Amino acid sequence: FQEPGADRSKVCTGHQDLKLDWDQHHAVVKTGARIGYDCISKEHYGPEATRIAFTKRLIDEGYGDQLMLSGDIARQSYLTSYGGGPGFTYILWRFVPWLWTEGVSHEDTNRLLVDNPIQRYLINSPMLSSLVADPDGGYTIYVQNESPGAEKAANWLPAPKGPFQMILRLYWPKPDALN
């Protein structure tokens, strides 16, 4: 990303916690890029205690705003409703409280995570039928803290107050998505 001149503050390197290597993670955030810890709860990739320690250290060293937490829950075997685990609640009910016991403040964890009154954390193509289309067939998505009102609420993606990070995940996008 450096050679073509990309704005590294707009880059997030995901799955960084597949290999828990502090020097490599630190090198990434020092460039200004964001880092994704999205294998939280997956002990087979490395001890959760190490993820906690790295998360705390990144926050303590001033890189908390470059850290993105998630659980890559992509299989039925990870879902508690199918008898698996850890499930979608792991980060909020286990990982975050563990951070607090290690001295990470509620303010810092609130910066990583957002209260969300409608429990919507993404908008993707399977949701299109529930969105309200614009007259031209496109969609206006309201990414903001407060509800845009009842008539626009179907297209609302709640966001925190103040500055926040937004990620667009595009797989083989057509040219019009890039312009």
User: pLDDT tens across 73-129, in order?
Assistant: 777 777 777 887 787 788 888 999 999 999 999 988 987 886 667 767 778 888 889
Per-residue pLDDT at 174 exceeds 70 = yes
Q: pTM, whole model, 2 decimals?
A: 0.67
Q: Please check whether residue 42 is in contact with residue 48, taking contact to mean a CB–CB distance below 8 angstroms.
A: no
CA dist 92 → 86, 143, 150 (Å): 11, 23, 29
- The candidate with the shortest Cα–Cα distance to 104, out of 69, 147, 133, is 69
pLDDT for res 178: 62
